[in-house]
Amino acid sequence: MKVLVTGGTGFVGSHLVRCLIGYENSVVCLVRPTSRLDNLESLPTTLRQGDLTDLNSVREAVKGCRMVFHCAADYRLWCPSPEEMFRVNVAGTDNLMRACFDEGVERVVYTSTVGCLGKYVEGVPADEDTPARLADMLSPYKKSKFLAQVNVLGWANRGLPVVIVNPSTPVGEMDLKPTPTGKMIVDFLRGKMFGYVDSGMNLIDVRDVAEGHWLAAQRGSPGQKYILGNVNLTLKEIFDRLGVIANISAPNWRIPYWIALLYAKGENFWSGELLHREPTAPLEGVKMSQSKMWFDSSKAVQKLGLPQRPIEKALERAVRWFREKGYASLS
């Protein structure tokens, strides 16, 4: 079956491409002329150059595809030009949904994020039905993904057979950029983590996220959301696991939130405002760490059959890959 993947050069997207090939699909990837193709090297894919913000190139990529997986997104915690992020994440997503609707695509899977879902009281995992408002979104990225998800649900109401998946925090190999979570692991491996804040997140093996996309296409209900997650861990628990895997002492100093916030504000002003370079501790990321970002993925496990492989194996692969690729020392 011929399928289209956007964002196939990225972390989640490249694992999805491998998953789809494993199920004997013919994969077309929409790529920008400037995209790094390392993650697709030697894979039997067809590359179509284009841009989500160009409706004509999107239409050309969609033609003849029975399924479309929309993984592409502008994902940054520090964004000096939010309008560009909204152009890609909101308008670009709308272009793709329009093209899929016009071409009669049989199934669309849209990659959203748990970041645009709501939160319950501290320590209670949120689910797909937790109330959320645009005003609750703390960063341009979350706001753009929230608005894009609202638009996608609108297309579902118009009859587009689109299923939404909300990955939590994927970990594993091939995180080229790396993502903010990958950067956290790299900083840990480089000995740059001197402490931790009382925060937490839901981790999942990136391979399970890829499998979850395929399962959503096969078993998901149009217009429904499915959290692709696994285990809820505090930041201290994550560092402790990384410490055992990498044979590095995990930080034991719990940093009060107000100190982390004060540092981030100062560093963001110095690096972002004055030097125009990405801060080491983006302010929006620190703000998000004020509460534990825990989620309940039981709906995807029960309805889709989402795999729940041990997260330690994914962390092991991530550590090994980052070291082998020179992101961090092998010592």
Active site residue ranges:
141
Instruction: Measure the CA–CA gap between 262 and 267, rounded to whole angstroms.
Output: 9
Instruction: Measure the CA–CA gap between 168 and 184, rounded to whole angstroms.
Output: 15
User: Are 126 and 166 a contacting pair, CB within 8 Å?
Assistant: no
Counting Cβ atoms within 10 Å, is residue 136 exposed (0-12), middle (13-18) or buried (19+)? middle
User: Are 235 and 201 a contacting pair, CB within 8 Å?
Assistant: yes
Instruction: Measure the CA–CA gap between 223 and 228, rounded to whole angstroms.
Output: 16
Instruction: Measure the CA–CA gap between 172 and 258, rounded to whole angstroms.
Output: 31
Distance of CA 255 to the CA centre of its chain: 26
Instruction: Measure the CA–CA gap between 331 and 320, rounded to whole angstroms.
Output: 12
Please confirm whether the linkage preceding 180 is cis (ω < 30° from 0): no
User: Are 190 and 328 a contacting pair, CB within 8 Å?
Assistant: yes
Counting Cβ atoms within 10 Å, is residue 272 exposed (0-12), middle (13-18) or buried (19+)? middle
Phi-psi region of 206 (alpha: psi -120 to 50; beta: other; left: phi over 0): alpha
| Partner residues linked to 286 by β-bridges | none
Tokens of 167: 């990955």
Instruction: Measure the CA–CA gap between 101 and 28, rounded to whole angstroms.
Output: 18
